[in-house]
Amino acid sequence: MTETDDKPHGSKFSGRVGWGRRPALVVVDLVHAYVDADSPFALPGINSAIEATEALTNVARQSGLSVIWTDVVYHDDMSNAGLFYKKVPGLSVYAANAPGRAGQLVLKPEAEDLRVTKQYASAFFGTSLASTLHAAEVDTVVICGVSTSGCIRATATDALNHGFRPQVVRDACADRNAELHESNLRDLDAKYADVCSLGEAVQHLSAVP
């Protein structure tokens, strides 16, 4: 077996897209549905990802960079959830008037931050995010939030499809177990994005003129 741990798909994969000149931070679905213990989407050990995300938002703002927060909201009858709702019935917690705080952001955005509401996994699908970022001359999308195997993966893949350089911050993402988290990070790093540490992301965000 010739494949190595750092190149699980072989030598023809795992190139680098690198960092461009104008990054933006996209915080994906960091809402109470993934934090509250009684939620069907609750993730274990998510606190470290929340702390890392908060550090990223602070650095991005200090550098004058865009911070975008995504959330999920459906009509009360879930009529705009499509087949996604059939596949994942638990999405009903995101109905507009559902009881509880499942759809509320865990961290508080600043007034200048952008909000994107979506109905599917990718922050780009069916939203104006790509147009907004292109208009702001953003070329690099720094991605954090939840979950690694779901909305993070979909957002990173679509970022690449839309011509952005995706940088997924491993310390600022979380999933239902370590195996899902690590295996998806490895696959993303091989095919669709660069996976970086919190320290690397902070270094690049801080260095933007």
**How many angstroms separate the CA atoms of 31 and 93, rounded?**
11
Torsion of CA 125, 129, 135, 136, to 10 degrees: -140
Q: Which three-class secondary structure state does DSSP give residue 13?
A: coil
Q: Which helix (H) or strand (E) element contains residue 181?
A: helix 178-191
H-type alpha helices, 26-70: 47-62
Per-residue pLDDT at 8: 67
Contact 75, 96 (CB under 8 A): yes
Quote the tokens at residue 191.
């095919």
Band of residue 7 on the pLDDT scale cut at 50, 70, 90 = low
Q: What percent of the chain has pLDDT over 70?
A: 95
Contact 127, 158 (CB under 8 A): no
- Return the active site residues: 151
Domains of the chain: 23-206 (3.40.50.850)
Per-residue pLDDT at 1: 30
**How many angstroms separate the CA atoms of 47 and 105, rounded?**
14
What is the pTM (predicted TM-score) of this model? 0.94
Task: Please give the single-letter amino acid code of residue 195.
Answer: V
Alpha carbon distances (Å) from 40 to 14, 53, 71, 88:
34, 22, 16, 10
Predicted confidence (pLDDT) per residue in 74-131, tens digit: 999 999 999 999 999 999 999 999 999 999 999 999 999 999 999 999 999 999 999 9
